Amino acid sequence: MSGRRPARAASEEAMAPPAQVLIVEDDEDQRWLLTEILAQGPFYAVAVPDAESALVQVEQQEFDVLLVDRRLPRMSGDELVRELRDRYPERYLAVVMISGYGGGEAVVESLREGALDFIRKPFRPDELLARISVAARTKRSFDAQHEVEHVYLTIARMVEARDWSTGQHCTRLAHNSVLFGRYLGLDRRSLDLLGRLGVLHDIGKLAVPDRVLLKTGRFTARERRIMETHAVVGARLCQEIRVLRPLATLVRHHHERWDGSGYPDGLAEEEIPYLARVFQLLDIHDALSAVRPYKDALPPDQVVRIMRAEREEGRLDPDLSERFFAFLEEMGDQLMRPESERPHHDDFFVEEVAPVEDDADPLSPEAVLEQTLAPHEEMPAIMVLGRDGRVVYSNEQTSALLGLQPGMQVTAVDHPNVRAPVHRDGLVALKRCPVQRALEARKPVYDEEVLLKRDGKEQLLRLTVIPLPGDDGVVGSAGVVVSLREACFAPGIGERLRVASAVFEHMRDGILVVDRRGLIESANHAACMALGRTESGLVSLPLANLFPQADLPPALPPTSRNEVWLSDATWDGEVDLEDGGEADLPVHLRITAVFGVDGVVEHYLAVFFDISRYQRRIERLQQQAGHDALTGLPNRELFLDRLDVALHQARRRQRHLALLFIDLDDFKDVNDIFGHETGDRLLMDVAQVLQQQLRDEDTVARLGGDEFVVLLADVASLDAALGVARKLRHHLRHAVRVQGEGMSIDASIGVSLYPDHGKTADELMRHADLAMYYAKGRDGCHAYRPELRESAMQRVTLQTDLRRALESDQLALHACPWRRLSDTTLSGLQLVPHWRRPRQGSVPLTPYLGKGGLGALDRDLVAHVLEQAIGLAGRWHRERRSFGRLALRLHPHQLEEGDLSNQLEKLLQIHGVPGHCLELQIPEQLLTGLSVGSLSRLRMLGIRLGAVDFGLVGAPLASLRRLPLDVIRLDRELTCNLPAAERDRLLVRGLVGLGRDLGVEMIADGVERESQLAFLRDVGCDAAQGALIGEVQPIETIEAWLRRQ
């Protein structure tokens, strides 16, 4: 680790302390260079060589900026940022990533992990200084805002610490007043003031003695006047603290009343600040709704009745109160309402309670305050110190406690009556001063203990220091707020001790009290149960005997508070507890020193609890987080982690590794036909087969659905990887059966090889996926080739063009006629959808449909063509055109979807088309898997059903007998060689005769010659279609021809 102080700027103008920058760079020359550059600006740089050292530094010190090299050994820069954000979620980490490698993806990844900026090497020194300056200003601006909030919250905690119910009352008002302000349409600043007023409107109760504030009986007139002084005290305190100053007027006057009957100044009507009038309505409403010593909580309707009576008597702003009542009706359910809580006095009284008179003369609030608050009252001393340590403001308790005068300088170092408990020789180092530490760290210091010498005795005080931001935005430049409370004067200490004793005994954690020699003095019930011993059996036993693995000394030495302050003197870790059983119990153990007032260790507190359940849960969560729930295989996240490790090793050893991307063919059919339970069992069988056929050093993972991926960590060549892929495919086909049936599963496997096909995990995954896609429908296994990427790009381009065609009406229908052979009359029109491509002209759309490569777009296109066809039939039917029927080819996914009949029924109704005007054609190869029910529903609509491409693949004759077909269309492969080819003549003659016997209309496709036509007429074929009958023409041409008929 190295450090260098920055060069001092020429001017001596006031400035913030140097920004603390942590440089994390593994290259020694780069570390030196970065340190030298930052030394030219207002920075103090600390440089470390790796992420592990950076974690240690950040734990010890908070830095303004972290300048991190993205490529670090063992743990990368992105991983370091992720770890820091996990460890310190409450911190604002200004991280600037620096790297000489990686493109836009690297920048995006670093910014996603939490980096604020990204600098590429090589860089200009002035650019580096500028970017680090911006990052430091961003960090300090965030911290400054955060510390302002600390001022509010700390003072609010002081109120709540004395009176819990007042704290709850303030919390509710902070929420409710903002809600009402929004209802009134107030601006953002007003809403902010109302929220802060809700938290701090009772801040002046710090000055009210506990004998008055916590009294459960009736107030005397004097006590009531004392209570009413809190508005004056609160306003004075807010006025003296810069960040609270905007609240001063509102705090002073939020108890004034419209008719002038309020306090402290008797203001009336518009004299009362508007926001104070808004706030008092919420204050009164909450006071009436909560439990008080003199009344129960009132129901909402009674609260409103009382407030309406107050309005009628003139004590509330008439216009605002009416809007408040309307607000309650509309948004009352969104208010925070009092829960069951301890009753306490509030400064709003529902009715006059007769006070116990004490013959006191009326006094002003200030006079009451001065005469009733004695130095010994139980309230904190509060003071504001400037940056130079001089007292800017102090209340009466501070002056009485420390003997201060305005302008006197005070620190815990040189004030004659104050010293730290670590004091041994009369002085303590400046760096240990709580005020100095708060200023240097620009963070609050809470509950610091100091000793006050008073009346010849030393009194233990608890001190809180909050640094204040100045006009320059730098935290601490305006000084600090300090509060002091006498620790031994805390009220209710006897009750607290009884509660602490009950907590000790009933804690579920084991607690052992150990003396200065390390011997057990007492144990709670949980400790005895865990150790299997009675308390008497534990007393005087050395603590180290119970935790031999904790590496504790036989007797803990009497450590002074000075050593504890500097070294934290706390042992913390996970150890095995010797409980006398067969297996030791894993526990978390924390040993902490307990000090006396003199600063010397009196006891040690050993707290332990069983972590075996947590360890099992963590192991289970780790397993769940990294593995697929169904198959138990690694999931995508764990696989990518292992792939990163394997790539790192392959680079270092200069070896190959391969990825096999596996996709099960037709897995959707298994789920659809046999159900998802069968599909899940099939996936588990696939996972088992893949694991059995791979080496221990290989990894197989399930990415999701029916996709698996295999990592071959060390493979000799691409041919070797392809050999493994073919072996896996062979075993999947022969070893995996669906429900034990003869139906097997096949897979498509794509292979990519490092470094030939990619050097990153992302490249290898994408290229293996492309190869898998290409393997589908081909040889089943395929390695990546660069041209596959081009093919994928063409597919994406095609999808984009087709989507644009669908949206811009570039799809049109063409048609060709078929005629009856008996009289040559028009029997129908075969529809052929076309795509009017802007450059290529009109091309058939059929080659792109039903192939599955277009995904959801494929279904959109087919649905569009179907609606076009039925719309055309509807229009011609209304125009009484004689077109016979329109024939349209169905595609596989239309037959797989169960709602085809419902879709057609709706379209036929919408366009007013009789079902007999439509013929739907089913390819011969799909006939085997069709159900009678699905086709019967179509027949019920009057739609004619036909088999096309017949004779091409040889459909079983049972399909003709089983399915309700109306038409069979002989494929052109059967008719093209007629009448010359004898075998074709015999086959066509037989099929036509079969169709006649079944009562099915027989149509021949591909008729181009008169000799073909004559033969078909002789054998009794019903109709023919082809170039001789009529060419494919645009629908507009066909329509013109129909009009001429």
Give pLDDT tens digits for 316-368.
Answer: 999 999 999 999 888 888 888 776 444 443 433 333 333 333 433 444 444 43
How far is 982 from 928, CA to CA, in rounded Å? 29
pLDDT digits (tens, 9 = 90+) for 395-428: 666 766 766 554 454 443 344 444 444 333 333 3
Q: Which of 349, 374, 351 shows the shortest CA–CA distance to 224?
A: 349
Q: Quote the pLDDT of residue 361.
A: 42
| Res 1017 pLDDT > 90 | yes
How far is 136 from 126, CA to CA, in rounded Å? 15
pLDDT digits (tens, 9 = 90+) for 186-229: 888 888 888 888 877 877 776 666 567 666 667 787 777 777 87
Mean pLDDT of 507-525: 85
More confident residue, 876 or 434: 876
Considering only 434-443, 736-745, 935-944, 959-968, which range has the smallest mean pLDDT?
736-745
Q: Quote the pLDDT of residue 1021.
A: 95
Q: List phi, psi (to 5°) of 431.
A: -65, -15
| Res 953 pLDDT > 80 | no
Q: What is the model's pTM?
A: 0.38
Q: Which of 154, 17, 92 shows the shortest CA–CA distance to 465?
A: 154
What are 461's strand-pairing partners? 450, 486
DSSP-assigned letter for residue 1021: -
Considering only 1-10, 476-485, 874-883, which range has the smallest mean pLDDT?
1-10
610 with 643, same domain: the answer is: no
How far is 273 from 256, CA to CA, in rounded Å? 9
Considering only 100-109, 500-509, 698-707, 819-828, which range has the smallest mean pLDDT?
100-109
739 with 827, same domain: the answer is: no
Q: Got the DSSP string for 513-535?
A: EE-TTSBEEEE-HHHHHHHTS-H
More confident residue, 840 or 696: 696
3-class secondary structure per residue, 991-1018:
HHHHHHHHCCEEEECCCCCHHHHHHHHH
537 with 476, same domain: the answer is: no
796 within domain boundaries: no
| Res 27 pLDDT > 70 | yes
826 with 918, same domain: the answer is: yes
151 within domain boundaries: no
588 three-state secondary structure: strand
Helix (H) or strand (E) holding 67: strand 65-69
121 with 36, same domain: the answer is: yes
Cα–Cα distance list, 245 to 236, 241, 709, 1004, 1039 (Å): 9, 6, 65, 97, 86
688, 690, 696, 702 alpha-carbon torsion, rounded to 10°? -90
706 with 767, same domain: the answer is: yes
| Cβ neighbours for 556, distance < 8 A, ≥ 6 positions apart | 514, 516, 517, 518, 543, 591, 604
Judged on CB neighbours under 10 Å (0-12, 13-18, 19+), 427 is exposed
How far is 550 from 173, CA to CA, in rounded Å? 50
77 three-state secondary structure: helix
Quick count: other Cβ atoms within 10 Å of Cβ 628? 20
How much is the mean pLDDT over the chain? 77
790 within domain boundaries: no
More confident residue, 365 or 716: 716
How far is 627 from 631, CA to CA, in rounded Å? 8
Vertex 48: Cα angle to 46 and 54 (nearest 5): 95
| Res 112 pLDDT > 80 | no
More confident residue, 1003 or 163: 1003
How many structural domains comprise the chain? 6
Q: Quote the pLDDT of residue 992.
A: 93
The answer to whether 281 touches 332, Cβ cutoff 8 Å, is: no
- Kindly state the greatest CA–CA separation across the chain: 136
308 with 174, same domain: the answer is: yes
pLDDT digits (tens, 9 = 90+) for 759-791: 999 999 999 998 998 888 677 899 999 888 777
Q: How confident is the model at residue 90 (pLDDT cuts 50, 70, 90)?
A: low
Show the beta-strand stretches assigned E in 618-728. 657-664, 699-704, 707-712
The answer to whether 665 touches 713, Cβ cutoff 8 Å, is: no
| Res 297 pLDDT > 60 | yes
Sign of CA dihedral 355, 360, 366, 371: negative
485 with 510, same domain: the answer is: no
Core vs surface per residue 793-824: b (16+ CB within 10 A) or e: eeeeeebeebeebbeeebbbbbbbbbbbbeee
3-class secondary structure per residue, 534-550:
CHHHHCCCEHHHHCHHH
Mean pLDDT of 151-157: 54
Over pLDDT 90: what percentage of the chain?
A: 24
Q: Quote the pLDDT of residue 765.
A: 93
End-to-end CA distance of the chain: 97
Q: Quote the pLDDT of residue 815.
A: 95
For the record, the structure tokens of 158 come out as 């002081």
Helix (H) or strand (E) holding 834: strand 826-837
621 within domain boundaries: no
Q: Of the residues 754, 784, 814, which one is the last residue of a structural domain?
A: 784
CATH number at residue 301: 1.10.3210.10
Q: Quote the pLDDT of residue 303.
A: 87
pLDDT digits (tens, 9 = 90+) for 374-397: 333 345 677 777 766 666 666 666
DSSP-assigned letter for residue 220: B
996 with 1014, same domain: the answer is: yes
pLDDT digits (tens, 9 = 90+) for 567-624: 345 677 778 776 555 557 788 888 888 776 556 777 888 888 888 777 776 676 666 6
Q: Quote the pLDDT of residue 852.
A: 47
pLDDT digits (tens, 9 = 90+) for 802-835: 888 888 888 999 999 999 999 889 999 999 999 9
Judged on CB neighbours under 10 Å (0-12, 13-18, 19+), 723 is middle
822 with 857, same domain: the answer is: yes
950 with 810, same domain: the answer is: yes
794 within domain boundaries: no
| Res 369 pLDDT > 60 | no
Q: Quote the pLDDT of residue 549.
A: 60
15 within domain boundaries: yes
| Res 17 pLDDT > 80 | no
Residues of the domain holding 757: 627-784
| Res 506 pLDDT > 80 | no
Vertex 430: Cα angle to 428 and 432 (nearest 5): 70
Q: Quote the pLDDT of residue 804.
A: 86
350 within domain boundaries: no
CATH number at residue 546: 3.30.450.20
929 with 839, same domain: the answer is: yes
Q: Quote the pLDDT of residue 165.
A: 66
Q: How confident is the model at residue 502 (pLDDT cuts 50, 70, 90)?
A: low
CATH number at residue 26: 3.40.50.2300
Q: Of the residues 784, 814, 843, which one is the last residue of a structural domain?
A: 784
DSSP-assigned letter for residue 218: P
156 within domain boundaries: no
CATH number at residue 947: 3.20.20.450
Over pLDDT 70: what percentage of the chain?
A: 74
